[in-house]
Amino acid sequence: MAATVELVAFARAVSRLLGWAYFLSWSGSFYPQPVSNWRRRSTLGLAIDFPTLNVLGFVSYAISTGAFLYSPTIRSQYAFRHPESPETTVRFNDFLFAAHGAVMCIVIYSQFFPSVWGFKVDARQRASLAVLGIFWGCIVGILVTLCTVQLRGRDGGYDAHGWAWLDVIYALGYVKLITVFIKYIPQVYVNFKRKSTIGWSIYPMLMDFFGGIASLAQLVIDSSLQNDWSGIVGNPVKFGLGNITIAFDIIFIYQHYFLYRHSDQSLEEEDEWEAERQRLLSQPVY
**Chain segment 5-49, per-residue pLDDT in tens:** 777 788 888 888 887 888 888 788 889 889 988 988 888 878 888
* pLDDT score of 276 more than 70: no
Question: CA-CA distance, 81 to 279, in Å (whole number)?
Answer: 56
281, pLDDT greater than 50: no
Please, is 273 exposed, middle or buried when counting C-beta atoms within 10 Å of its C-beta (0-12, 13-18, 19+)? exposed
Residues 6+ apart with CB under 8 A from 201: 32, 33, 36
Res 232: pLDDT: 61
Averaged confidence pLDDT in the chain: 82
| CA dist., res. 166 & res. 88, Å (int) | 12
Res. 191: pLDDT tops 70: yes
pLDDT category at 100 given cuts 50, 70, 90 is: very high
Domain ranges of the chain: 17-274
Residues facing residue 120 across a β-bridge: 42
Query: Coil, strand or helix: which one is 244?
Result: helix
pLDDT tier for residue 273 given thresholds of 50, 70 and 90: very low
Distance CA 136, CA 31 (A): 27
Q: Is the pLDDT of residue 278 over 60?
A: no
Q: Give residue 265's pLDDT band: very low, low, confident or very high (50, 70, 90).
A: low
Q: Is the confidence at residue 264, as pLDDT, over 70?
A: no
Beta strands in 76-176 (DSSP E): none
